């Protein structure tokens, strides 16, 4: 008789073991010769070493499935515990079109041509700029690339940042402490993360610093090693702020800068750092600019019409 411990970290017990342990009891039923005991964030297995090795490998596949899809069911458990899902799981893991297997079976992938170019550019360069109007998926795609890199252990952490620029509102009049005032600016980043990671795992990552969501000003003086960093809404970064962010790049780091140059909320006399960077860095080797447009909009069909109308109005005003 042997004993083995399997760590079960960053997983919600209700998602893994099911309500009233219905999934856990089903898992145990496929290995009646083993004593399987769940205790907090680990499993204790007692029995024949060969039988334990088979169980361990299949249980790991179950955890992989839960990590990628955010849920399991009786059918999934049956396939994996009977040893019928090994090839299927491998094919899922190597599906090049899917960036992230999100919650509730959501498949996060690049949809439009420019989104796909953005993915390819990110795979070939350590720094890319994704510039385009609202609704083109630039932030969502960037976050998906970051989550994929973290899951594949290509980076150790994700840094998501935005300039805390007031778009017609006054931060001072918002209720709460500094975090309460700043969180609304970060909400689109949280929303994307919630789509792509199980709730408990996301909370754990935020608590231990594996994922950090912070205002751009908090980046000053830091070196971001082994990190996937995204600067969102970069059109609202000043020239010195954007230069500061770009020079945070450390060893084995990967940066994406996203922005919409048609929605600059900086004071009239404060030039946008993104506009400056587009001129200065356009020809720098190792940096690629991806320009998204209304054809990449993946929101309501009216968004495309609105973007075109505003673009026409701007051209008439500058005509």
Q: Using one digit for the tens of pLDDT, what is the confidence trace for 153-191?
A: 999 999 999 887 654 444 455 556 556 666 777 888 888
Please tell me the pTM assigned to this model: 0.67
Q: Which parts of the chain have pLDDT scores under 50?
A: 87-96, 167-171
294-129-288 Cα angle (round to 5): 110
Cα gap 133→260, rounded to integer Å: 5
At the top level of CATH, the class of 98-318 is: alpha beta
CA distance 144 to 105: 15
Residue 222 phi/psi, 5-degree rounding, is -105, 160
Supply the pLDDT for residue 177. 58
pLDDT at 319: 67
* pLDDT for position 256: 97
Query: One fold for both 2-93 and 98-318?
Result: no
Query: Is the CB of residue 121 less than 8 Å from the CB of residue 287?
Result: no
Among 204, 259, 251, 195, CA closest to 230: 259
Q: Which CATH number does the domain 2-93 belong to among 3.40.50.300, 3.40.50.720, 3.50.50.60, 3.30.1370.10?
A: 3.30.1370.10
Q: State the Cα–Cα distance between residues 255 and 226, nearest whole angstrom.
A: 11
Where do the structural domains in the chain lie, given as residue ranges? Answer: 2-93, 98-318
CB 88 within 8 A of CB 112: no
Instruction: Give the torsion sign (CA, 151, 155, 157, 162).
Output: negative
- The residue whose two tokens read 């909400």 is 187
**206 Cβ contact list (under 8 Å, min separation 6):** 212, 213
Return the pLDDT at 115: 92
Q: How many CB atoms lie within 10 A of CB 125?
A: 16
């Amino acid at each position: 008789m042997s004993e083995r411990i399997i760590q079960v970290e960053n997983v919600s017990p209700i998602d893994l073991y099911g309500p009233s342990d219905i999934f856990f009891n089903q898992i145990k039923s496929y290995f009646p010769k083993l004593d399987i005991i769940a205790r907090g964030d680990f499993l204790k297995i007692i029995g024949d070493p060969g039988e334990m090795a088979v169980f361990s490998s299949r249980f790991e596949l179950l955890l992989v499935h839960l990590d990628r899809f955010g849920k399991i069911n009786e059918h999934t458990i049956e396939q994996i515990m009977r040893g019928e899902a090994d090839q299927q799981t491998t094919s899922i893991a190597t599906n090049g079109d899917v960036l992230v297997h999100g919650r509730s079976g959501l498949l996060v992938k690049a949809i439009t041509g420019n989104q796909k170019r953005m993915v390819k550019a990110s795979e070939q360069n350590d720094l890319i700029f994704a510039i385009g109007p609202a609704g083109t998926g630039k932030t969502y795609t960037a976050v998906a690339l970051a989550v994929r890199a973290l899951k594949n252990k290509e980076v150790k952490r994700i840094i998501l940042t935005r300039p805390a620029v007031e778009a017609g509102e006054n931060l001072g009049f918002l209720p709460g402490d500094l975090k309460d005032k700043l969180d609304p600016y970060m909400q689109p980043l949280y929303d994307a993360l919630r789509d792509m990671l199980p709730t408990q795992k996301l909370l754990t990552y935020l608590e231990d610093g594996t994922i950090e969501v912070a205002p751009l000003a908090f980046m000053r003086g830091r070196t971001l090693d082994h990190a996937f960093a995204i600067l969102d809404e970069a059109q609202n970064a000043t020239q010195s702020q954007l230069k500061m962010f770009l020079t945070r790049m450390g060893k084995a780091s990967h940066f994406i800068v996203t922005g919409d140059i048609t929605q600059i909320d900086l004071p009239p006399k404060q030039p946008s750092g993104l506009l400056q960077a587009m001129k200065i860095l356009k020809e720098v080797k190792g940096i690629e600019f991806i320009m998204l447009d209304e054809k990449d909009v993946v929101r309501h069909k009216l968004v495309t019409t609105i973007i075109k109308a505003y673009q026409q109005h701007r051209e008439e005003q500058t005509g």
